Homo-oligomer: A and B are copies of this chain.
Amino acid sequence: MLKECKAGERFEGILLINEWKEVPFRQKPGSYITLTCQDRSGTIQGKIWNYEPQVLVWLNEQDVFYVKGMISEYRGTLDLTVETIRLVPKEEVDLTELLPSSPVDLEVLERRLDLLIKKIFQPELRVLLEQFFKHPEKGDTYRRAPAAIKIHQAYLRGLWEHSLRVAEIAEGIARLYPGIDYDLVVAGALLHDVGKIREYAYDRGIKFTTDGRLLGHIILGIELLTEEIASIPDFPNELRSKLLHILASHHGKYEWQSPKKPKLMEALVIHYADALDAELWQFEQAKENYPNDDWSPYIPNMERYFYLK
């Protein structure tokens, strides 16, 4: 793990290359490559001083490589001089070694999910959730997926962590308003972002898929749920429309890419809980990153400074 490296040691292992560029030498002809490498424990800047031209062809950003080199220190910052680098075949890539993961423990997430599903009475909704979360591929992908590429919970298991918090906020609110259907709001919260498992590809780094860009996670989620529901006998038609509406409206506004506004109490609550968790996450992150400061730097995405005291 990068975190354990020390200056003067050699490094050998599998790394994710986030971005790289060729830099011309200032004082002589020729150039070198700088790259940002990461594994789940952290990030290091690397340099390749000598390389053959075809490296420029196969060295993709957001891709995974076997790397060998030397660690040196430079005013307290470590630096990796790469001596060997080659592509790692797809089947050897283990993203959980390369990307950070939700700070919440896997078992804790699983237990919280269980707890939420167990309280659901409506039989078809319960079947839907159990079938989906136990599905070897879909359930697994959902548990691994990040919540976003940037902004909030952009790490492995981020989708899961985020969806649980949305569901838990929604649950708390449902208890205060008798008009809210507990089963629907919790199931909707857990599934509101399910289309992200087709919007992002993250077998080698995190990228948008072509379908992700052409259709987006709202439509992809509706397609996915439509398939799931089709396999459940007698799933009530109206319940299906409500669930799909929750997905369609969870961004809350047309300008935020929701083709419908929330027209159900449950859809409204999920929209609010979704937005609130994404924003609170940024506060938490700022508090973690600037533990000694009164004020965060300017957060462009929120168009403000946060007060951290």
Contacts and interface: CB of A to CB of B under 8 A. Distances in A.
Given A173-B169, A272-B275, A283-B265, A307 B179 contact: no
A244 B212 CA distance: 12
Interface in A103-126: none
B179 A241 contact: no
Nearest to A249: B214
A199 to B, nearest CB: 12
14 contacts: A165-B176, A172-B176, A180-B280, A210-B295, A213-B305, A214-B241, A214-B244, A214-B248, A215-B260, A223-B226, A254-B254, A263-B304, A263-B306, A265-B280
Contacts of A31: 75
B307 A264 contact: yes
Interface in A234-254: 238, 241-242, 244-245, 248, 254
Contact of A276 (B173, B244, B304): B173
A205 to B, nearest CB: 16
Interface of A: 22, 24, 26-27, 29-31, 74-75, 165, 168-169, 172-173, 175-177, 179-180, 210-211, 213-216, 218-219, 222-223, 226, 238, 241-242, 244-245, 248, 254-265, 268-269, 272, 275-276, 279-280, 283-284, 287, 294-295, 302-307, 309
Contact of A259 (B165, B218, B268, B302): B218
Nearest to A303: B261
B268 A283 contact: yes
Nearest to A171: B172
A151 B91 CA distance: 44
Nearest to A27: B27
Contacts of A177: 280, 284
Given A172-B172, A219-B222, A226-B223, A304 B261 contact: yes
The DSSP consensus for interface residues of chain A is helix
Given A172-B173, A263-B304, A307-B263, A245 B215 contact: yes
A63 B164 CA distance: 46
Nearest to A180: B280
A241 B210 contact: yes
Nearest to A242: B214
Contact of A215 (B27, B168, B241, B295): B241
A214 B260 contact: yes
A24 B172 contact: no
A64 to B, nearest CB: 20
Contact of A268 (B26, B241, B276): B276
Contacts of A302: 261
B263 A269 contact: no
B179 A259 contact: no
Nearest to A174: B172
A143 to B, nearest CB: 20
A216 B276 contact: no
